[in-house]
Structure 1
Amino acid sequence: MSKPQIETIYSQRAAEPVGPYPHAKRVGNLLFLCGMGPRRRGQTTIPGALYNEKGEIIDYDIVEQSKAVFENIRLVLEEAGARWEDIVDVTVFLTNMKRDFAAFNQVYKEYFGKIQPTRTTVEVGALPTPIAVELKVIAVVE
């Protein structure tokens, strides 16, 4: 049995990774996306974040952040030759489950309701940047 080819994918449209890793790896017909947050390419501000005069985040909109995350995922999928409908598994990281789960779920249902990938949702104490949501996705590519 031969080892499947591994392809590294760097998107030119999605937000840049915040560390030394690619946007995705393709192994055979599986596509593994890195954890994707809501930032936009070339920007340092976070969609849905409310900043004070010192530039510190004082509040955020989980709906806006979630939609921005989903857009980043879509961009990486497209550049890797996959579609939204090819997503088979989603891991969701929320920094405040009690506050954000219901609103996140509503947005998630709008985007994923018809394709229904498997999903795990966990609350984390923090993410690498001051964001409230991050998703890790696995998709199938033809």
Structure 2
Amino acid sequence: MATHATTKTIVHTEDAVPPLPVFSQATVANGIVYCSGSIGCDHQLNVVPGGVSPQTTCALENLSKVLAAAGSGLEHILKVNVYLANMPRDFATMNEAYIKFFPGPLPARTCVGVAALPMGADVEIECTAILPGSSH
């Protein structure tokens, strides 16, 4: 379900993890989908156990559902930002889980080490995608 506000569309889907009350799952403007960061957690907002690999998988699955609700998909991602709470320990493992979602040409990406993430998560992923058929 999408709600219009001025020149942007707010994206919300029950299929993905619910957002906290301080942000939307995504916004769409001028044919571009801006997804909020997603950590690997379930619908009850519990971080999935097992470390960065299952959390990366879960975060990307959630982003895929948000993109689908917006009318886009992982194959239309332009840019990804990945935040890791422990870069030295988790970078290679995160990449192994991440690459499974992008069999074709890879989107641009930045990976940043951070001091901490919400709810003690190991990884948070956000992305920007284009709507198929958009002139942008």
The bucket for the TM-score relative to the shorter chain is: 0.7 to 0.9
How far apart, in 1, do the equivalents of 2:88 and 2:109 lie?
Answer: 18
Distance in 1, matches of 2:19 and 2:105, equals 26
Retained in 1: the 8 A contact 2:39–2:47?
A: no
1:21 aligned partner: 23
Q: What TM-score do the two structures reach when normalised by structure 1?
A: 0.84
Radius of gyration: which is bigger?
A: 1
Partners in 1 of 2:71 and 2:57 — Cα distance?
21
**Displacement after TM superposition at 1:19 (Å):** 4.1
SS in 1 for 2:117: coil
Q: % of aligned pairs identical?
A: 29
Tell me what 2:3 maps to. none
Does residue 11 (structure 1) correspond to residue 13 (structure 2)? The answer is yes
Secondary structure of the corresponding residue to residue 39 of structure 2 = coil
Aligned partner of 1:72 among 31, 48, 62: 62
Which of 107, 114, 121 is residue 111 of structure 2 equivalent to? 121
**Over 4 Å off, 4+ runs:** none
Unaligned ranges ≥5, structure 1: 50-59
The CA RMSD over aligned residues, in Å, is 1.4
Amino acid aligned to 1:127: L
TM-score for both structures, normalised by structure 2: 0.87
Structure 2: any 5+ residue segments left out of the alignment? Answer: 1-5
Q: Distance in 1 between matches of 2:20 and 2:115?
A: 18
2:52 touches 2:90 (CA, 8 Å); kept in 1?
Answer: yes
Deviation at 1:82, TM superposition (A): 0.5
